[in-house]
């Protein structure tokens, strides 16, 4: 019995679970919502100098905002949710690997450490690619366009740039999870055998799982950084912001790290098996 394979087994199980959590985070309104790739905050949209209500009463957006009850200038300075609500937009969007969820901040977005109230999650698909421009355009009231809210073209350009990478990322996660599952079985096999063959097979499967999950994690990190930077750089003028999914990054790189450890253990088992065989051969000669 090879007891070192117990560590390899533990690593494979950890990588399998962590990768599954990355893939299925946000599958319901209550399941690991903080495991998102990024959060897009729309609650402050309209609260910038671009939205000057004193000179916009003649355009479509100005007319919509003027229809709000109360003093609009007061709303702009004190309440973050009213403008987004007037535009039929949620306060925030949690973007996951295979879907997105939308919701509102409770009691409102101006309260420090406001809680998230998830109201809706989209259908989950393997070919999911989040398009905030299309989402906002589809939700705007009739007569209001992206030009009216000064939606930045650069955000739409960034969406197109990461589309292919997003699809490749999801495919690699699925492949990595599959190999991690197989690695669990090969590690179990390795526990009850003591040959180099089982150790080498285990190493090969661990390596494939490590490469798949590692490349997927690298692509995910690049996508998150590019999307968040684009939203904050070009969306700040209209009041939108984005935040990186720290928990998702921790889970995906954690899965990568434990699969790397599994690879190291497996190759060590190959070397130990060879050494033992050589020593046994010398004893027979003498």
Check: CB of residue 83 under 8 Å from CB of residue 76: yes
Whether 92 contacts 106, CB under 8 Å: no
Total number of domains constituting the chain: 1
Domain region containing 12: 4-285
The Cα–Cα gap between 248 and 25 comes to 9
Q: What predicted TM-score, i.e. pTM, was given to this entire model?
A: 0.82
- Tens place of pLDDT for every residue, the chain, 286 residues? 466 778 899 999 999 999 999 999 998 888 999 999 999 998 888 766 666 555 444 455 555 555 544 444 444 444 444 577 777 888 899 999 999 999 988 877 666 777 888 999 999 888 888 889 999 888 887 777 888 788 888 888 888 888 889 999 999 999 999 999 999 999 888 887 776 787 888 899 999 999 999 999 999 999 999 999 999 998 888 888 999 999 999 999 999 999 999 999 888 877 765 444 444 444 444 4
d(CA 225, CA 189): 40
**In whole angstroms, how far apart are CA 158 and each of 122, 148, 175, 230?**
22, 21, 26, 7
């Amino acid at each position: 019995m090879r007891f070192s394979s117990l560590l390899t087994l533990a690593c494979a199980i950890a990588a399998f679970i962590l990768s599954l959590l990355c893939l299925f985070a946000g599958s319901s309104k209550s399941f690991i919502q903080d495991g998102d790739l990024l959060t897009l905050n729309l609650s402050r949209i309209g609260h910038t100098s671009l939205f000057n209500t004193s000179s916009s009463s003649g355009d479509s957006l100005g007319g919509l905002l003027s229809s709000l009850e109360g003093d609009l200038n007061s709303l702009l300075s004190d309440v973050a949710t009213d403008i987004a609500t007037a535009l039929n937009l949620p306060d925030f969007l949690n973007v996951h690997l295979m879907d997105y969820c939308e919701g509102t901040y409770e009691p409102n977005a101006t309260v420090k450490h406001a809680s998230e109230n998830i109201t809706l999650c989209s259908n989950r698909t393997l070919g999911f690619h989040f398009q905030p421009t299309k989402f906002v355009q589809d939700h705007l009231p009739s007569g209001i366009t992206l030009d009216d809210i000064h939606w930045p073209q650069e955000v739409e350009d960034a969406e197109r740039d990461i589309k292919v990478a997003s699809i490749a990322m999801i495919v690699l996660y699925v492949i990595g999870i599959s190999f991690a599952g197989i690695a669990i079985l090969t590690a179990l096999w390795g526990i009850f055998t003591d040959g180099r063959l089982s150790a080498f097979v285990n190493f090969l499967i661990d390596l494939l799982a490590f490469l798949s999950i590692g490349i997927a994690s690298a692509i995910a990190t690049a996508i998150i950084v590019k999307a968040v930077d684009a939203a904050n750089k070009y969306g700040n003028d209209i009041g939108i912001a984005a935040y990186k999914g720290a928990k998702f990054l921790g889970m995906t790189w954690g899965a990568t790290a434990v699969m790397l450890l599994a690879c190291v253990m497996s190759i060590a088992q190959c070397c130990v098996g060879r050494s033992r065989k050589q020593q046994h051969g010398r004893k027979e000669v003498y």
